[in-house]
Amino acid sequence: MDRAYLVGGCVRDALLGVPVKDIDVEVYGVSYEELCRILGKHGRVDLVGKSFGVIKLRLSDGETYDFSIPRRDSKIGQGHKGFEIQFDPDITLEEATARRDFTINSLMWDPRKGELIDPHGGEADLQARILRHTSDAFAEDPLRVLRGMQFAGRFDLKASPETLELCRGIVDSYLELAVERVREEWFKWASRSTKPSAGLRFLVDSGWVKHFPEIEALIGVPQDPEWHPEGDVFVHTCHCCDAMASLPAWQNQDEESRIVHMLAILAHDFGKPETTHEAERKGRMRIVSPGHEPLGGPLSENFLKRLDAPNAIRKRVPPLVMNHLVHTQPLSDKGVRRLARRLHPESIEGLCLVVTADHMGRPPKPAAAPESVECLMEMAKELSVYEEAPQPILKGRHLLAKGMSPGRGMGRILDAALEAQLEGEFTDMEGAEEWLDRYLH
């Protein structure tokens, strides 16, 4: 190989001191075919990115690396496929890095010399936490705006004025984007952010928040200053998302759960714009939002539907939104059991995360979980419904064993049994059989 450099995110992450997951290598001075032949001597070669000059190398120990040759991209049509790509192994480093989206991603590392190559000032921007486009070619792929959103959230970056101006100039090109590409950037924001509010503010400052009306509607919606001294609903949502990202319990979850709980706290007040008004409470006028919980459920569903989110996520987020104030009401054993069933396939454990982040998002009020959440957690754990909903004790096989025939009658009995179980009329199989005898006779 003539010249090979580490490029992009791996260099950026190494400079930030965060774990490097994906290694990208760009090779100069060889053709695509030559690179395939050379890499084939070291492991299994996968040509999944052939049209973009990318080769994935898998070593015998399971490690994978992405190799590519430099290219020139020319915009010839709409969408991410509307590019004419020309591979040029002799392109200069300055030209090759200029096609990257942001200066912080245009960095290169020469492993032979141990030198950082920085043609566009990416290291200085990274140190100053500035998100700056590398060149005017940025506007050729509108997805880069949403990449900016998730980068801002992941690394707590603030976009430069000229980058924001460029983003505002291509705001209508959002319609060119395939929904799966939009979803991918949102999920990266939701699962990897350290300062998610920076991503949301980037959306607003760039004008791209118009494409997410549920979020845009939060801006300027007032809240009662006694309960929410931090400001309007959008400001509150930003604080709540940052609070979620700070919770060790959120950080230590699997990726899908991090996505679910971050999107749930993002959406938890989607119902406030339509329900907020002034009303007299205890002899004084207050800003209130009655009914915003149940209204927020369908709004969160619409948001997720437009992202074409997987069903597993679409089923988990709305119940959290629709129950995020349940802890403010008196709780009983049967109420907690029913809550666990309403949340399914989510859990009271997940709800407690959302409620905690909601309560922490009201500075300068103390950033801590409310006592009511601690009470809910203890009750749910005692009832063994903290991590999952109660499962029916009495099941169809038990009725079949008693000689009953499948059908609607059996279904009605099982429904009644589950209601009795949730009410606390029985807690084990012996009690279930006694209940069944009483029910039938």
Tell me whether residue 370 is in a domain. Answer: no
Specify the number of domains making up the chain.
2
Q: In the listed set 128, 161, 180, which residue is the last one of a domain according to the structure?
A: 128
Cα–Cα distance between 168 and 405 in angstroms, integer? 65
Tell me whether residue 261 is in a domain. Answer: no
Tell me whether residue 415 is in a domain. Answer: yes
- Helix, strand or coil, per DSSP, at residue 164: helix
Tell me whether residue 306 is in a domain. Answer: no
Tell me whether residue 65 is in a domain. Answer: yes
Q: In the listed set 128, 155, 170, which residue is the last one of a domain according to the structure?
A: 128
Question: Nearest-CA neighbor of 89 among 137, 20, 38?
Answer: 38
Residue 412 sits in which domain range? 396-440
Tell me whether residue 83 is in a domain. Answer: yes
Cα–Cα distance between 311 and 360 in angstroms, integer? 29
Cα separations (Å) of 226 from 7, 237, 365? 50, 17, 10
Amino acid at 54: V
Q: In the listed set 128, 163, 185, which residue is the last one of a domain according to the structure?
A: 128
Tell me whether residue 244 is in a domain. Answer: no
How would you write the pLDDT of the chain (441 residues) with one tens digit per residue?
468 999 999 999 999 998 888 899 999 988 888 899 999 999 998 887 667 778 999 998 888 999 988 877 655 556 555 555 667 767 888 888 998 999 999 999 999 999 999 999 999 999 999 999 999 999 999 999 999 999 999 999 999 999 999 999 999 999 999 999 999 999 999 999 999 999 999 999 999 999 999 999 999 999 999 999 999 999 999 999 999 999 999 999 999 999 999 999 999 999 999 999 999 988 899 999 999 999 999 999 999 999 999 999 999 999 999 999 999 999 899 999 999 999 999 999 999 999 999 999 999 999 988 999 999 999 999 999 999 999 999 999 998 988 888 888 889 999 999 999 999 999 999 999 999 999 887
Looking at the DSSP bridge assignments, the partners of residue 71 are 87
159 in Cβ contact with 206 (< 8 Å): yes
Q: What's the CATH number where 22 sits? A: 3.30.460.10
Tell me whether residue 329 is in a domain. Answer: no
